[in-house]
Structure 1
Amino acid sequence: MTDSGSGSGPGFGPGSGSVPASGPPAAWHRHVGRCVLLDGFHALKHALRFGAEVPVAVTSDRAGALALADELAPDVREALAGLLTEVPHATYASLVARPHPTAVAALAVRPSRAAGLEALARPPRSAPVVVLDQPRNLGNAGAVIRLAAGFGATGVVTTGTLDPWHPTVVRGGAGLHFATVVERLEVAELPPGPVFALDPEGEDIRGLKLPDEALLAFGSERSGLSRELRARADHLVALPMRPQVSSYNLATSVAMTLYHWSAGGGAPQMP
């Protein structure tokens, strides 16, 4: 899973070339062009919690999905009961590239880009923006979005060719794209705010307080920070690391940095 990927629509299994005239598959095909795939129960659960518009949802095991809701997500159980339509497993499998163990799939309308950009730029921000500079790994990008949502970050911005709304990224993010802003921008288009860029030669993060309005920038898994991002950086920041250890995983680096920010008083609000 190292390709950057550029498609944003869901993948389709065998037999997807013919569009049914009616029923859930027909509704699926009507909406697929403007929607993103929610792959699995947990992705659908999170999307509903954070206000996603979900025009169609299918499962080959409705009773099992609602039992999961009773156990893990009673807050969205009623919404799920109203949305989920049971279809034969072969029909469900034809709509997705890889059937999920929970046998649930849905389509959600992608949030407005204009609204996302406005939220990223609106001062004063109460939480940092995570910037992934030319990331390559789709799964890592999804894990970072999940982390950012958990910490209450304002958003995640990617530069470069990776589509942060690629189905594999949405799957890795467990539907939490709808809990934060997720956009792709050029370095010159980044929202205002001081850029704290992670770099082994930077200042030890343990001596710094990261402001809420910061942009926390992380280089690619392979080549680190791009020249453009390094030139835009206001501060270079290093994570503590034992000598002769090459690097941390991207998602681990983001988690450590967001935790350091939250420990300074920026923890997310609890219900």
Structure 2
Amino acid sequence: MSAGQDGTESTDVVRRWRGHADDCVLLDGFHALKHALRFGASIPVVLTSDRRGVLELAADLAPDVAEALAAQAVEVPDDVLRTLVPRLHPTRIAALAVRPSRSAQLAALSAGSRSAPVIVLDNPRNLGNAGAVIRLAAGFGATGVVTTGTLDPWHPTVVRGAAGLHYATAVEQLAVGELPDGPLFALDPEGEDIRSYALPDDALLAFGSERSGISPELRARADHLVSLPMRAQVSSYNLATSVGMALFHWSAGHEFG
């Protein structure tokens, strides 16, 4: 679409945004949209208040998605875009993407289809930390990230923290009793050193909160309690660091494309 939009066209595209908003995932900013495009997300609407700037950014940082962005991005006035996305990203672009079906996510997480671990976040509380973990999982090629408890792993703040990489790995919310099959390694300060294990590709790697650790229910489900190497008198690592260390340990000997 052309950069300029008259009032009728702007009204139409805003109406289309609002028609999709309740059923889609907000992609807030260039990098979230870039990753969603790269990993095959279905994106019904893309709005920007700086189309020229966004296309220049794509040409510079992500030429592989520049053509798709040029075809989809519709320019609207900045004040209009801010009524739809109050916390507008500095790149001044936002999009709506279709959330993958639960059945597709569960199929990806099933034991029979896994060639890399699943990360389990047991009752996480911090939206930003959950997003950072999803970004890590995507980078390591993990099969997916599962959360237990009440936190929605597709919350807009989580998607923003993950830079749209939800579409590069399976992300789902499950009860402990619904976790996919596979050997479960739960991180616990009293566990055996994780370096004494060769983590299998179909492992579930479970992480509790920094304050309370893993829940009794998940502990009962665990096949192994493992710990990360840590200097004496240091209390803990943050969640994303712990996940990154465990995935790095698993990744030894694996190649990444």
Q: How does 1:90-101 map to 2 (within 5 A)?
A: 90-101=79-90
Q: CA deviation at 1:122?
A: 4.3
- 2:239 is matched with 250
Distance 1:106 1:93 in 2: 13
Aligned residue pairs, count: 249
Q: Deviations over 1:30-61 (max 9, x none)?
A: 11111010000000000000000000011111
Of 203, 207, 212, the match for 2:192: 203
Distance 1:97 1:224 in 2: 35
Q: Deviations over 1:100-157 (max 9, x none)?
A: 1100100000001101101111415100000000000000000000000010000000
- After TM superposition, the runs of 4+ consecutive aligned structure 1 residues lying more than 6 A away are none
Secondary structure of 1:266 counterpart = coil
Distance 1:222 1:242 in 2: 18
Structure 1 letter corresponding to 2:233: Q
- 2:254 is matched with 266
Structure 2 letter corresponding to 1:165: W
TM-score scaled to structure 2, two decimals? 0.95
CA contact (8 A) 1:127 1:266 kept: no
| Unaligned runs of at least 5 residues, structure 1 | 1-19
The yes-or-no answer on 1:75 pairing with 2:59 is no
| Unaligned runs of at least 5 residues, structure 2 | 1-8
- 1:117 is matched with 106
CA contact (8 A) 2:210 2:236 kept: no
| RMSD across aligned positions (CA) | 1.2
Q: How does 1:41-190 map to 2 (within 5 A)?
A: 41-190=30-179
- 1:230 is matched with 219
Identity %: 72
Secondary structure of 1:36 counterpart = strand
Cα distance 1:21–1:58, how it changes in 2: closer, same or farther (>3 A)? Answer: closer
- 2:5 is matched with none
Cα distance 1:59–1:116, how it changes in 2: closer, same or farther (>3 A)? Answer: same
Q: CA deviation at 1:92?
A: 1.0
TM-score scaled to structure 1, two decimals? 0.90
CA contact (8 A) 2:35 2:163 kept: yes
- 2:203 is matched with 214
Q: CA deviation at 1:267?
A: 3.9
CA contact (8 A) 2:50 2:92 kept: yes
